[in-house]
Structure 1
Amino acid sequence: MPESGVTAERVRLGIVAGPDFEAEIKALDSTLRSIEAVLDLDQLRREIAELSEQASAPNLWDDQTNAQRVTSRLAARQADLDRVTSQRQRLDDLAVLVELADAENDAATRAEAEKELADLRRAVDALEVRTLLSGDYDSREALVTIRSGAGGVDAADFAEMLMRMYIRWAERHKYPSEVYDTSYAEEAGIKSATFAVKAPYAYGTLSVEQGTHRLVRISPFDNQGRRQTSFAGVEVVPVLEQTDEIDIPEEEIRIDVYRSSGPGGQSVNTTDSAVRITHLPTGLVVSCQNEKSQIQNRATAMTILKAKLLAQRKAEERAKIDEMRGNVTSSWGDQMRNYVLHPYQMVKDLRTEQETGNPQAVFDGEIDDFIEAGIRWRRTSGAAAATA
């Protein structure tokens, strides 16, 4: 039935409330076609076939590093394909459901279609955001470091709140996470912490969270109940792969071992198993204390150090480009999000204008809207800078 005919029929039946399904489905179809073109589904299927052949080789696990790379890549690419094809099938099914609702003038079926439309719109929007993650390291896992800033004990407490927020976000998406190092503050909260989010595209996704975060609230640590402003910094770097060339000569590092502090299991706090590595040329310091073995902690700390050096190298390259463009950013520009608990309730991103009146949900890990807005903002601002 032509589109105009369907609309006339719905009017005749009195089904005029709610969304314009024809326009909505057409828009979703267009977005999905763009996503399918960007991902190049034929090439994606060929890559999956090649990886599947490699994964089925009987001697695959003779080289464990390569085996992990192949199986991880295969799982990620298969998930990409399944994610797109499942949304395409949902869209086709939605069109059939709408036809059924119109043909039978069934309010219950129409309500079901409206709910599915809303769910599908969110899923396609999230899928579209994923296609924007095309940077050199966007597909990597992420290393996140949170540090307390100005604000004393409130800042330390805020840093711990942010750490919990990101770990809860990972849990909501069923992304594994692992805390590598935590430096506890004396009264409450943390001075700093480093943890990994082990999922494909975790770096590209979380990298938009990097920057200075600001909290305004009535301090629970002030016996006079005064309002306190505190700050915490979030740093996100990609986890390195074996193919990344970051060579660190032994003479450029100093390794110290010490006894772990804070909560820990059996043997963790009873031996000098914690490791701190200082990169002498840059002054970068990383530490790891989550494993019982000093060897394991050293290996993990070296991985973190290499990731930070890689991120520093990329930042230096970006800084040179910004200098050539004449970009100058004030220190205030690093502040990217406000969390206000008093005198009103609001979380607002200063770059994207994304906001919500439910800070508790945000601290419980509901930050997808902020992340997606940040990814779109980054793509838009990057394109604008490229044409400046």
Structure 2
Amino acid sequence: MHIQTLILGAGAAGMMAAAHAGPGVVIIDHAKAPGEKIRISGGGRCNFTNMGTTHAQFLSQNPHFAKSALKRYTQWDFINLVSDYGIAWHEKTLGQLFCDETAKDIVAMLRSEMDKAGAQLWLNTAISNIAHDGTHFSATLTRDGRDTQITATNLVVATGGKSIPKMGATGLAYQFADHFGLGVITPRPGLVPLTFSDDKFKPLAGVATPARITANGTSFDEALLFTHRGLSGPAILQASSYWHEGDPITVNVIPAADLFDKLRGARETSGKKALTNILSMHLPARLIDFLKDDMNLTGNIADQSDARLQAICDALSAWPLLPSGSEGYRTAEVTLGGVNTDGLSSKTMEAKSVPGLYFIGEAVDVTGWLGGYNFQWAWSSGWAAGQAIRNTRK
């Protein structure tokens, strides 16, 4: 059986590519249904893009690689597509857009786009014996216990990264990259909770507070959540992509508060109150109770000099911590690293050394911040590859 294009992976990037690659597309996936990561994302409502998307929100060894695809297929293009299908959406915070009803609407939209393009979807399908003879790709596809020998002019690898292995993530794209001689930037978990081996934050499990988290010079101001195993919440997930094992982080639990002036005011009006009681008016009481011994939060507010109040504020705004590790791929929302962009065209996502071979989405060494950016990369990179394949036929 010969086809024009074989796409591996019916996730966000793969389905987007299938919708734009023109006639003769077969898209395969080992799962029972397409778009499973889309379906579970955003609490089931899919944070499908971010209104503030630029290349600046992406990590890569080549920080400029994502520019071309993101500029040619923007967040506004995808928003228009969603609106054309009558899918209601809303902005939650910081430019993050979610479906009003269900993430399944996005999957159904992409299925419809694929159907209009004439793409075939093969689920519960495995691939083996892949090869390239300089002109065509060949492979064995196995589904329902039957083997189909297939050849294709183009091969698009959209199998994602290693994150969330319980959904079948394996890092298969890296094996294909190695097979065809492309480099791979060592993968690691991204957008992932950080852990502490001494369970030091167990007493604070469930406490949340606004915070600024800094890792290797990059800071994020969002919510911090204490867990039985360590730290989570949007601020930690964001910073985790910049953190490496063995590095410290800095936690500022008063990022927006002029706490020093508030404490001085309380000293004048409520001098007999305990310092911890005053602090608990501005921060979670359980957090203050947890910190009171380490930061020597004793005495009444009236007993504290300006210098002492400033020292307390400094400690609360620069709390150094040393995570022992992360939750790993089990809970990581994305995989950092991936197929080295040096071997790919930023315009088409095609391998420079193997004509007709494309890598898109999370498989590539392009990783976005939390907040819809990684889906936008899937849409943009999938569109870029699809357009390149379609235009090659003309």
Please give the range of the TM-score, normalised by the shorter of the 2 chains: under 0.3
What is the TM-score when the length of structure 1 is the normalising length? 0.26
Normalized per residue, the structure richer in helix is: 1
1 or 2 for the larger relative contact order (CA 8 Å, sep ≥6)?
A: 2
